[in-house]
């Protein structure tokens, strides 16, 4: 994950802003810090922060992919901007769902307890349902922030741009 921005620049011939590099670095080392330093269990919701970051990152990547491969350059109307924002949002939601499938599979096959159980008010255990839904809602919220920010910026992606425009 640390090398993804540099690989993207080479593969897609684009420029990635320094804040995106730093963001990817934090997102890449976040799970390692969570496990090695015990941040997942210290009470400040490290897992939730990483899910929000994931929503931001994958929505930004989705918008870039749509602008690069899906959007026609000569058609720059409101519909194209809305489609780019929607593609970024829904790509992020899809990645979030796939990640929850991975967590469920790890729990089922190797009892890794990736989906945290919650004790409900009546004393019963929900077996990860709240954790899964909360994670997906947070990731969707992060994706919504990026998509809305993209639309408010007039459909201009200032964080990842093709090399020709630099």
Mean pLDDT of 70-87: 78
Mean pLDDT of 33-42: 80
Q: Residue 162's beta-bridge partner residues?
A: 14
DSSP class per residue in 15-82:
EE-HHHHHHHHHHHHHHHHHHHS-GGGSSS-HHHHHHHHHHHHHHHHHHHHIIIIIS-TT--SHHHHH
pLDDT, tens only, 6-27 = 888 888 888 888 888 888 888 8
Query: Residue 122 and residue 100: Cα distance in Å, rounded?
Result: 26
User: What confidence score (pLDDT) does residue 158 get?
Assistant: 66
Helix (H) or strand (E) holding 94, with range, is helix 78-110
Q: Residue 52's beta-bridge partner residues?
A: none
DSSP type of residue 155:
S
CA-based nearest residue to 159, from 28, 54, 63, 55: 63
Cα end-to-end span (Å), the chain: 25
| Structural domains in the chain (count) | 1
What is the average pLDDT score of the chain? 81
The band of 148, judged by pLDDT with boundaries at 50, 70 and 90, is very high
Token pair listed for 71: 């959007």
Flag whether pLDDT at 93 surpasses 90: yes
pLDDT, tens only, 99-131 = 888 888 887 788 766 666 656 666 666 666 777
Those residues whose C-beta lies under 8 Å from the C-beta of residue 27, and which sit 6 or more positions away, are: 1, 50, 53, 54, 57
Flag whether pLDDT at 152 surpasses 70: yes
Minimum mean pLDDT range among 66-70, 133-137, 141-145: 66-70
Q: What percent of the chain has pLDDT over 90?
A: 25
pLDDT, tens only, 42-71 = 766 888 888 999 999 999 989 988 888 876
Range of the domain at 25: 4-165
The band of 166, judged by pLDDT with boundaries at 50, 70 and 90, is very low
């Amino acid at each position: 994950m640390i090398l993804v921005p540099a690989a993207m620049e080479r593969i897609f011939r684009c420029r990635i802003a320094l804040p995106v590099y730093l963001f990817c670095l934090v997102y890449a080392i976040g799970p390692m810090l969570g496990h090695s330093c015990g941040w997942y269990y210290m009470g400040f919701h490290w897992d939730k922060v990483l899910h929000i970051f994931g929503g931001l990152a994958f929505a930004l990547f989705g918008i870039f992919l749509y602008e690069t491969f899906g959007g026609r350059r000569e058609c720059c109307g409101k519909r194209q901007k809305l489609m780019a924002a929607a593609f970024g949002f829904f790509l992020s939601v899809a990645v979030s769902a796939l990640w929850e499938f991975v967590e469920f599979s790890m729990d089922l096959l190797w009892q890794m307890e990736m989906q945290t159980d919650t004790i409900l008010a009546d004393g019963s255990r929900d077996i990860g349902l709240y954790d899964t839904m909360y994670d997906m809602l947070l990731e969707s919220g992060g994706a919504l922030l990026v998509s809305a920010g993209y639309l408010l910026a007039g459909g201009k992606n200032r964080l990842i741009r093709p090399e020709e425009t630099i």
